[in-house]
Amino acid sequence: MKPGRVILMGAGPGDLDLLTRKAVRALLAADVLLLDELVCADLVELAPRARVMRVGKRGGCRSTPQDFIQRLMRRYALQGKTVVRVKGGEALLFGRAGEEIAFLEAAGIEVELVNGISAGLAAATSLGISLTHRGHCDGVSFVTAHTHDGTGPDWAALAKSRTTLVIYMGMQRIEAVCAALLAHLPGGTPAAVVQWASTPREARLVTRLDTLAGAAREAGMASPAVILVGDAIGQARRRSTAGAEPAQRVLGAA
């Protein structure tokens, strides 16, 4: 039997209007749909003929093992099916796509990639800021607080990089993240948390680095959320204190 194919698709942060036309075509072609935990539930309506399997992975929660997900993709692809592995955000950004591509290609399976909007970009949109505002930074660094070996990133180097920091998977250890950055950045450095970016559940907190952890805990903010740190975040303050769309809640501002 001729092998099928696997499509690794980023579904974006939750707003289905942000899906690309290419993503919609992939969903329509799907025989098997493997859905991550944070993918919008309504997305399955765009894959009317697919068998839907939920393979949730979420920090601090019981998750489907990565090797099991990879074996599922291989199994169905070798049966000649089109498998669409749907990940929240962007598949190529902290989505373990590299591991999956290598595993599938070693089995002789064709892999296609469909990009999605990352939660970090959706968070910046919500705050109304440019992550690369040239008056405030030299670029942007996307980083995970949950590294593979558990040691954490080089916060000192990141603090000195003069880039806007967009930190994923950091809410469980937000106190440690803030403490590490405060060893190298002023306490008044603008900072924010955006939870459930782009969805009706979205919440935004804009403050400063030395109060971020406490304010986020007091507001009950938790994953899925993105932490943003840097001078460019200061541009969000006026917009946040002025109010938000009806579907959003502004939890605080410096």
Evaluate whether the domain defined by 5-114 bears CATH number 3.30.565.10: no
36 among known catalytic residues: yes
pLDDT of residue 186: 98
Q: Which one is catalytic: 9, 57, 73, 221?
A: 57
- Work out the pLDDT band at 77, boundaries 50, 70, 90: very high
Q: How confident is the model at residue 148 (pLDDT cuts 50, 70, 90)?
A: confident
Please tell me what DSSP assigns to residue 50. P
Catalytic residue chosen out of the listed positions 36, 81, 87, 221: 36
Is cis: bond before 246, omega within 30 of 0? no
Q: What is the rounded distance in angstroms from the CA atom of residue 234 to the CA atom of residue 116?
A: 27
Question: Which of 9, 73, 169, 221 is labelled catalytic?
Answer: 169
Which sequence spans correspond to the domains of the chain? 5-114, 119-252
Over range 237-252, report the average pLDDT: 42
User: In the predicted model, what is the mean pLDDT of residues 133-141?
Assistant: 96
The mean pLDDT value of the chain amounts to 90
Residue whose tokens read 């942007």: 140
| pLDDT value for 175 | 97
Domain 119-252 in CATH 3.20.20.70: no
Question: Residue holding tokens 């998750």?
Answer: 63
Residue 37 pLDDT class (50, 70, 90 cuts): confident
In this prediction, residue 60 carries a pLDDT of 53
pLDDT in tens, 98-112: 999 999 999 999 999
Q: What is the pTM of this model?
A: 0.89
